[in-house]
Amino acid sequence: MSELAQSAEEYLAIRRALGFRLARHGRLLPSFVAFLEEAGASFISIDLALEWAKQPEGSPTWWRERLSIVRGFARYLSAIDPRTQVPPPNLLASRGRMNRRAVPYLYSGADIAALMLAAHNLSPLQAATYETLIGLLAVTGMRIGELIRLDRDDLDDEHSLLVVRNTKFNKSRVVPLHETARDALHCYLRRRDELRPEVTGASLFISTTGTRLSYDVVQRIFARLCRQVGLKARSERCRPRLHDLRHSFAVTTLLEWYQVGANVPALLPSLSTMLGHNDPADTYWYLQAAPELLALAAARLDMLGDQP
């Protein structure tokens, strides 16, 4: 068996162990590997991937699906073989396909710290608001809309959690808070009450006028902070977005679980609940959002395979 064929089997085994069925992948990846071997290639190139994807007669939609299967395998291999070329998502793009899922812009801890520090240059109330807002998004994985809708009464000090009401799927959930996050929220509330003592509305986070934060204004200020700290687009579909703080939280959590040897498949439902996912498949998606996650999953599978 060639190295490519063996890598394909390992890739499929890893993803199936994480809960994916991959019936179509199981049929098409061996065909792609055979195509590479027949071409005398020892690694994936964009040209060969595109040639294989467009081999059969059919619609561009079918070609894109074939290429997306190769892309996932290539992302996995790129963490193992640096020669691997990952086909870009828009390689077979067509009109009407521009609303596809963006590539997550994963923020490092240094990125988040820089954004929070940059918020200090805003007006006093904005500085307190946006430093706390960015930090809370980074450590809870909440959606920005959920955070904007929070009321002061949604902070439960006794149990150290936030009550998120009427979320994206018209459900409510609780989000646990580390004591440091809870304390940071109280520091913010004291500061906002000092700066705007006349505010009597229910909103937890407020604007400079004392009203509930506006989604458009928050997006605009966050974009300005990203420019100030030098965060730039990594590709056409991978740009710094406020929502990517949620993606970064999910990926960081999974990485930490792998690094401490936790049973990740067993813990995934807990992460789904915390993120407020209606479909667990949305949480499984994060397992392929970063090549390092698949590499860690591969190492875990190898370790389990070595056990008697």
Return the active site residues.
Answer: 143, 168, 243, 246, 277, 286
Residues 185, 17: Cα–Cα separation, whole Å:
39
Residue given tokens 């946006």 in the structure block: 130
Q: What is the separation of C-alpha 172 from the centre of its chain, rounded to a whole number of angstroms? A: 22
Strand pairing class (155-156; 161-164): antiparallel
Residues 304, 293: Cα–Cα separation, whole Å:
17
Residues 185, 289: Cα–Cα separation, whole Å:
30
Q: What is the separation of C-alpha 118 from the centre of its chain, rounded to a whole number of angstroms? A: 23
Angstrom CA distances, 148 to 11, 207, 262, 304, stand at: 40, 10, 33, 44
Opening angle at CA 164, ends 18 and 276, nearest 5: 15
Residues 261, 86: Cα–Cα separation, whole Å:
29
Residues 43, 33: Cα–Cα separation, whole Å:
10
Residues 281, 253: Cα–Cα separation, whole Å:
17
Angstrom CA distances, 255 to 189, 284, 300, 305, stand at: 32, 13, 12, 21
Reference 73, options 20, 112, 149; nearest CA is 20
